[in-house]
Amino acid sequence: MKIITIEEEAWKQLNSRINAIADYLKRLDDTSYDDLWLNNHEVCQYLHISEKTLWRMRTKGEITYSKIYGQYFYTIGAIKDMLNTNAVQSSDEYVEELMAKGKSYIEKGRKLKSGK
């Protein structure tokens, strides 16, 4: 086994370049499917919603789409944008209260119903 030593400044530059490459690859990976087109049925399955709900979202302008010969298509990027736009932010107090209730629930020894 060989031991290689380099100056601290050279190590910092090398490490910085490696991190920049890793960040670039992560960004590429995150958006690789954003341009993929899905039809109505696929979007409904993905979001676990009915076609009527998807129709309402289209008519309200909540999701962007393309219409070709009477069929509707959506990109995964458009679905992500819609989900991010409608994300509900919760306060720290609400999260702490929820955690306290969960802890209390567990301490009391209650069992969750299993769907058999």
Dist CA 62 CA 79 (whole Å): 10
Look at residue 46 and tell me if it is in a domain. Answer: yes
Mean pLDDT for the chain? 83
Tokens of 23: 């960040």
3-state secondary structure of 37: strand
Sheet with 71-75, side-by-side order of all strands? 37-39, 71-75, 66-68
Look at residue 20 and tell me if it is in a domain. Answer: no
The residue ranking higher by pLDDT, 21 or 105, is 21
Look at residue 57 and tell me if it is in a domain. Answer: yes
Look at residue 113 and tell me if it is in a domain. Answer: no
State pLDDT tens for residues 25-61: 877 766 567 788 999 999 999 899 999 999 999 999 9
Torsion of CA 79, 82, 83, 86, to 10 degrees: -170
In whole angstroms, how far apart are CA 7 and each of 4, 20, 47?
A: 10, 20, 53
In sequence order, which residues have a C-beta less than 8 Å from that of residue 99 and are 6 or more positions away?
none
Dihedral sign from CA coordinates of 86, 47, 36, 73? negative
CATH of the domain at 67: 1.10.1660
The residue ranking higher by pLDDT, 89 or 81, is 81
Look at residue 21 and tell me if it is in a domain. Answer: no
Q: Which of 8-17, 62-71, 91-100 is the least confident region?
A: 91-100
- Residue 115, pLDDT > 60, answer no
Look at residue 26 and tell me if it is in a domain. Answer: no
Q: State which residues form the domain around 39.
A: 32-107
pTM of the predicted structure, to 2 decimals: 0.52
Q: How many domains does the chain have?
A: 1
